[in-house]
Amino acid sequence: MQYSHDGIEIFVRQTLGCTCPEEVFQHIEQASLAASVPEIPGIDRILIGRKLLIYVWELSDLKELEQYLPALVTTGKQERNLLGYNRFRLVVLTQDPPNAQVRAEELFAESASAEPKLHLHVVNKNAATQVLQRPA
C-alpha cells in the first residue's frame, strides 16, 4: 500500500513519537515486504532518511502474533544491521490494541533481546490508516 508523504511524517512523529529532524523526512521509500517474507501477509516497509526502518503490519487475527511476530523482529533487525540503519520500528495495526498489546510486547521482548534501537508499537488500525493515507 502506498501512503502519503505527509501522512507518514505525521504518523511517525505523532503516533510513534519519533523526534527525527525535518531533513530526515525529505527521503522516504515505501515497498511491500511480500517478496522478502511471502509467508507473512500484510506488511509494508517504510525507510525514512535512510536511517529509520519501519515495518507496518496489518494484523488480521491475534493468533498471527505467535506465528509471525518473532520472524518479523528478526527480519527487521537483520535488515537494519546489514544496511546500517539507525533504528527499527515494528508497527502492528490491529482492531483490538488492548488484547494484542501484552502478548505482542512479550513476544517482542523475547525476540528483540532488549536492544534500545528496536521498538514495537501496537496501534489502532482504523486510526493509523486514516493518518497514513492522508492526501499529499
Q: Give the predicted TM-score (pTM) of the model.
A: 0.93
Looking at the structure of the chain, the number of domains it has is 1
Cell numbers that stand for 135 in this block: 492526501
Q: Which domain holds residue 65?
A: 5-132
Grid coordinates representing 32 are 511491500
Contact 45, 55 (CB under 8 A): yes
109-134 mean pLDDT: 88
Looking at every residue in the chain, the average pLDDT score rounds to 91
User: How far apart, in whole angstroms, are the C-alpha atoms of residue 47 and residue 54?
Assistant: 6
Residue 134, pLDDT score: 58
In terms of Cα–Cα distance, which of 95, 86, 89 is closest to 121? 89
Residue with cell 513476544: 107
Q: What integer pLDDT is reported at residue 41 of this predicted model?
A: 79
User: b/e map of 46-74 (b: 16 or more CB within 10 Å)?
Assistant: bbbbeebbbbbbbbeeeebbeebbeebbe
Cell 532518511: give the residue.
49
Q: What is the mean pLDDT of residues 99-126?
A: 92
